[in-house]
Amino acid sequence: MKKVLITGAAGFLGSHLCDRFIKENYHVIGMDNFITGDKKNLQHLENNPNFEFIEHDVTEFVSIEGGLDYILHFASPASPIDYLKIPIQTLKVGSLGTHNLLGLAKAKKARILIASTSEVYGDPLVHPQTEDYYGNVNTIGPRGVYDEAKRFQESITMAYHRFHGLETRIVRIFNTYGPRMRLNDGRVIPAFMGQALRGEDLTIFGNGMQTRSFCYVNDQVEGIYNLLLSDYSYPVNIGNPHEITIKDFAEEIIKLTGTEQRVIYKDLPVDDPLQRQPDISLAKKVLNWEPKVGREEGMKKTFEYFKSLSKEELYKSEHKDFNNHIRR
């Protein structure tokens, strides 16, 4: 039985990756310090003999007993509401944490996949974004702590690949959604759905003409899995290229939820990207991958998940200063 370490295992994507690798008959070691992850996301795996969990901060030395075949590094705050609150931890997990895990991969002769992001492109001047675009990032802006942590993460990963011959993979993740997202993470899908369920007006920042492209979690996990097992060492975009304006998306949410909320507008935050759309030509070519779940189907499943939350969870997730945070 092959063994895989998944950091950030209690997070949205990390927990779904644990499920996928267990389904593929791997022994999964989950690791998280719960700074943004949720123990609830892993409760269903507690008695699974192929799953073990280590509570640990990867910015500290990481030690795993025995052999290890793969490492997936998904430990990081991944939404503005988080990395604006904990900027130093965000930078450390992308730098020190990545360094520790690359060292572990080298010691174990394991293949490592690191989770990068579409945020490495910043507010892009190229549309859609291809992997050979270097980006337009404000290094000292409020989002810089996340963007630059991920850009450094890519650089040190490629340095280990070239200097040590380490087997590395880099996935650039575009907006992903589905069950287990946090209502309070500041991203547009849980924000809109949470506001609709609480009977609040839907908040749009700017004029609503900025675009996003949303990938359902099952498709994202499939792309990541294919990339890990591929022979391709350079960054690959994984996301859904179907683009929509935030204004049109708000109307879709109102229709889906059957609510009659108004849409209200607030100032656009600093460095908020005006366009976000992946070019997935490379993923199609080297991974034989493209998304299969349409937005209508995926949104229905996601809304059913949010509807299943208790009132305590629904209102606990509400932040008094929520509208002052950047939303991806």
Taking CA atoms, 130 is separated from 50, 90, 133, 174, 239, in Å, by 38, 25, 6, 12, 12
Q: Cis link prior to 80 (omega < 30° from 0)? A: no
Cα–chain center distance at 19: 16
Both tokens of 31, joined, read 């690791």
* Three-state secondary structure call for residue 88: helix
Residue 68 — left, alpha, or beta (φ > 0 → left; ψ -120 to 50 → alpha)? beta
Please say whether the beta carbons of 116 and 219 come within 8 A.
no
Both tokens of 88, joined, read 């130093």
- Count of helix runs (H) and strand runs (E) in the chain: 11, 13
Among the options 70, 83, 146, 225, which is catalytic? 146
**CB neighbour list of residue 204: distance below 8 Å, 6 or more residues apart:** 246, 247, 250, 263, 264, 265, 266
Longest Cα separation, the chain: 58
315 is catalytic: no
**Residues catalogued as catalytic:** 146
